[in-house]
Structure 1
Amino acid sequence: MQVVNVHIVLLLFFQLPSSFGLSRTRSERLRALIFGEHVLAPLPPVDPLPSQAITTRTPIRRIAVIGERNSGTNFMFRFLTTNLDHTSYSFGDHFCQHKGCKPFNNSNPKHCYMRPQDGFETSEYLVSSFRNIAEHPYADALAVVMIRNPYDWAFSMHRNCWCYRRDIRALAPFEDIMTIEWRDNCPKPWLGEEVMGKCSSMMECRALKMINFFNMTKWAPNVEIVRHEDVISQEDSLAWLSRVADKYNLRMSTSYIQPVEKYKNWKRKRFDRDNTMATSPWFNSSVIENNATIKEYVMLINAKMNQAVESFAGYPQLLVKNIAPASSTVT
């Protein structure tokens, strides 16, 4: 999704569609949602600037880690600040702050839409309009954007959406949080919005954020889109930072790259990679095959997500076998 702080509309949170009778089992209701009609809202195009378009770079001085909630931003921030030289770089989660990207409703800027100060894709910021990239306002800034596969992300959002009354949200059925309207706490100026809008579902908000992230490359010269899955292991994260350090000529704090085990600043918050991968439908297909409920949840995510955007991000739809509409017999 794009950078948005999203709130669930409180009045709609416990409201079920009128077509669902109390006599239906939860599985029948889920299948009605899965196989019902899904009309996805039209979205802006994914149109990033090809990475090879920039051949020379200005030395980096500022590094910001941004991304949707539950996508690994805390891990990445800690990983970079642990390994990169603090005398050479300033670190933060406000990529656009110095050019006017300000929080809305006390939201965290790293989860907001990213845009230049005076609009989207203006001639002042378009990378393609600069003959000398060193003159670009963001020439010395690196944005590290974290994204995560839609399945683990949706389940994490259900457990903790980092939104208003998140404890109550976590107690509601998964299908409720997937099908209710969400409210954007940030306007989308490139769509002509000057006030907050709404998303028909959490997955629509996700798609909007992801499009915004990908399209940052058109007006910011140094953007690294990082899939959570590509840095989930120590070996992968160390290899990733080694490549990025070479690409941007980043100065390390020590002679070797240090792994990070804790994904938040609190000592008790340790990342259990093995458990995460064992219980993830993305990494472990048996989670879907052996759990009928997870199978239905994955189907619901498939129905609600924007497949074009997810595919662009490298997240093809997970295939689910042997599931039928509510009116049919399940094999």
Structure 2
Amino acid sequence: MSYPNEFSFLPEDVLVIVVMRNAIDWAVSLYNQPWFAALHCNVTFHEFLTKEWSYGNTSRQDRPPPFCHKYEAWTPESSYSSNMYYEDRQGRFAKNVLELRAWKLQRQLQVCNTRRQVACLRYEDAGSDWKGWLEKMRRSLNLRVREGYPVEVSSYKGEREMAKYKRKSHLENLKMGTPSPFYTPEVMGAFSERLESQWERRAGFDYAGVL
């Protein structure tokens, strides 16, 4: 089967990196910063995972309520007062945020497997051994390198007073037996019931000992 190449406009020396993250940490990150998902603000983590990912009763309004109110104290100038935005698949909203994740993984894997100039990267691989991943990618694509390769890379995200961003992982903590304030037994049950394992496995994520 042939697919249209959305990246055909790119120069041949440009590589598109599709980044994926494990479901445990992805869900917490989205819960902490639910951009444009006003109906999923100020709810418990359990409700966030199980509630339909949609506009709900506001879908018939011309202008649904604005962005999550819990950020108003941070941004009094209302710089985040955009309308809600909920992804859908041909007019059908996801039953919950984990079904939405399955849609995203399915599409990401399709793009990685069928498009030129595209590579998949697990967020965890970049965080634990980004130099190793970069070298593996260089060899697989037979890329030439410039003097000074590989360069030192650090994330700006979360930096305070020039301190490097330190990655936190609820999945790693759970695997080591460290309790998570988010993943209570009730939440873990709801999570495992809704997570679509086939796409997680295809993306290379392993939740053995946790789910």
- Give TM-score, length-normalised by structure 2: 0.67
Q: Which protein is bigger by CA-based radius of gyration? A: 1
**In the aligned structure 2, how far is the partner of 1:153 from the partner of 1:252?**
33
Q: Offset at 1:173?
A: 0.6
Does the 8 Å CA contact 2:88/2:94 hold for their aligned counterparts? no
Does the 8 Å CA contact 1:144/1:226 hold for their aligned counterparts? yes
> What is the RMSD of the two structures over their aligned residues, measured on CA atoms?
3.4
Which residue of structure 2 aligns with residue 161 of structure 1?
34
* Structure 2 counterparts to residues 20-31 of structure 1, below 5 A: none
Is 1:204 the counterpart of 2:68? The answer is no
1:200 match: secondary structure: coil
**In the aligned structure 2, how far is the partner of 1:179 from the partner of 1:254?**
50
1:182 match: secondary structure: coil
2:137 match: secondary structure: helix
Which residue of structure 2 aligns with residue 314 of structure 1?
204
Gaps of 5+ in 2: 55-84
Does the 8 Å CA contact 2:159/2:165 hold for their aligned counterparts? no
1:241 match: secondary structure: helix
Which residue of structure 2 aligns with residue 240 of structure 1?
133
Which residue of structure 2 aligns with residue 303 of structure 1?
193
Does the 8 Å CA contact 2:18/2:112 hold for their aligned counterparts? no
Q: Structure 2 residue aligned with 1:271, among 157, 165, 169?
A: 165
Percent identity, aligned pairs only, is: 22
Q: Structure 2 residue aligned with 1:261, among 148, 154, 161?
A: 154
Does the 8 Å CA contact 2:131/2:150 hold for their aligned counterparts? yes
Gaps of 5+ in 1: 1-120, 126-135, 322-331
Q: Offset at 1:313?
A: 1.4
Which residue of structure 2 aligns with residue 224 of structure 1?
119
Does the 8 Å CA contact 1:180/1:200 hold for their aligned counterparts? yes
* Structure 2 counterparts to residues 178-217 of structure 1, below 5 A: 178-183=49-54, 185-186=86-87, 188=89, 193=90, 196-217=91-112
- Give TM-score, length-normalised by structure 1: 0.45
Which residue of structure 1 aligns with residue 80 of structure 2?
none
**In the aligned structure 1, how far is the partner of 2:149 from the partner of 2:86?**
41
Q: Offset at 1:320?
A: 5.3
Is 1:152 the counterpart of 2:25? The answer is yes
Does the 8 Å CA contact 1:262/1:271 hold for their aligned counterparts? yes
